[in-house]
Each structure stands twice: as structure tokens, then as C-alpha cells.
Amino acid sequence: MLPALAIKEAEVPALSESVFMPYFRENFMTGVMKSQHGGDIWYARSKTDGGAGAVVIVDGRTEYMAKYSEVLYDLRDSGYTFYIFDHRGQGESSRLLEDPQKGYVKHFDEYVDDLHLFLDTVVNVQNQKRVILLSHSMGGTISILHERKYPGTVSGIILCSPMFSINTSPFPGIVARGLSRFLRFAGFGTRYVPDGGPYDPSNDFEDNDLTDSFARYELNRKRLVENPRLSLGSPTNYLA
């Protein structure tokens, strides 16, 4: 077994195929939850229960369960049962528009309600010693809004680069919000945001502002090329 946090950048692609993904496939089982807002929410959970409690990974926009196989491998000896799910409209979960590339949700609170239903029916927080949300980017927003709407449901929240605001460049926030409202009222709510479009696998690593890891960037691109159903393009005006 590899020690956590001892992985060299150049070893990531090979280890993903030989260690991380096999670990995820062998030690996690998948399921489907019916959302109260319609559609299927796909999830995975550890096959064995940990005595310390549950960790629920609330991932970011465009992400999907397999992307966290390395994280789940690193945390395998923590004593927790791990849960992860794909948000509505991305990953393996139901896409909400005819064009599956469009990042769309009519009301952001639908993400929050999905998380609450997941905690209540799949994780079953009442029977857990403790429940920790491990949240990244948009998942951080969802987790904090969940705590405000359903205070005290979980024991704690770990935030990684939480999306507490949206970069609306080149427009100031107030202009972007006004433009978004105008486009929705004009009947363009389900269209891509200005200059948005489908996921483009030809985008260069040098042009990305999300990661400094070339190996993981290329690994993610390879996965999305091999499994295009997991890819997701720009948000729509409803999500702006």
C-alpha cells in the first residue's frame, strides 16, 4: 500500500490506473437516489463501515465521483465511512436539459435539498457517530447554505477553496447579475452564459486557472475524452 501524500507528480497517471481507480471500484458500491426535484442522483459509499463516523464529499461544479479516487485512497485508513455523490446535472446524475453539456439548475437551493435528502436517507445521520462534510468549490457553497437552512445536521464542515462568490469578469458583479436577470426574462435562461459553450478537451493546461498539477489536469482530460457523458460545459444564465 502506498503512503498518503508521498506521490510524485510524474507517477499520478500510472497510479491512477493501477491503484486509485481499482481501490475505488473494489471498495465502494454505487447507488441511485431519487431527488425530490426530479431526476436521479448517483452516489457511492464505502462497502465497509468505519467506526469513527461518516465523511461526505460534496464536490465542485463539473466534478464527478471517480475524480476523487486519489483522495479516497489517501484517506482510506482514517476510520470513517466515505460517501460521495454527483450533483444534479453533472457526472452520472440526471442532466436537466436536452443539451447535457449545459450547467443548469433552476434554483440553487435544489442542490441544498439534494444534499439534505442524501444525508437523511443514504448517510442516515441519526445513526452516525459524527458526520463531516468535505467540500470543494461549489460544494462549499452548498454545504454552508445547508448548515444555514438545516443547522446542526452535521458535526463539522471542511472547506477547500469554497465558492463564496463568483468571478463575473469582465463584468462587475452588479452588471453580471442584471445581465443574467435580463437574459432569463428574455427567454434565454437555459442558454450558455456569454462566451460560454460545451466542454472543450483541446483547452491547454497553460490557460487553466484551476490547478497547478499538469499530470492531474491531463488525467482529468483523458477521463472526459474516454467518458464524454461525464463532461460538462459552461453554466447557463440560470446558474450565473
At 6 the pLDDT is: 66
**Which of the following CATH numbers is that of domain 9-230: 3.40.50.1820, 3.40.50.300, 2.60.130.10, 3.40.50.150?**
3.40.50.1820
Q: What is the residue extent of each domain of the chain?
A: 9-230
CA distance 230 to 217: 15
Q: Which of 28-32, 166-170, 171-175, 220-224 has the lowest mean pLDDT?
A: 166-170
At 82 the pLDDT is: 98
Decide if pLDDT at 1 tops 70.
no
pLDDT category at 5 given cuts 50, 70, 90 is low
Decide if pLDDT at 240 tops 50.
no
Nearest to 170 by CA among 199, 207, 195, 133: 195
- Helix or strand run (H / E) with residue 13: helix 12-15
CA distance 55 to 157: 10
CA distance 199 to 230: 10
At 180 the pLDDT is: 87
> In whole numbers, what is the pLDDT of the chain averaged over residues?
93
pLDDT category at 24 given cuts 50, 70, 90 is very high
At 192 the pLDDT is: 95
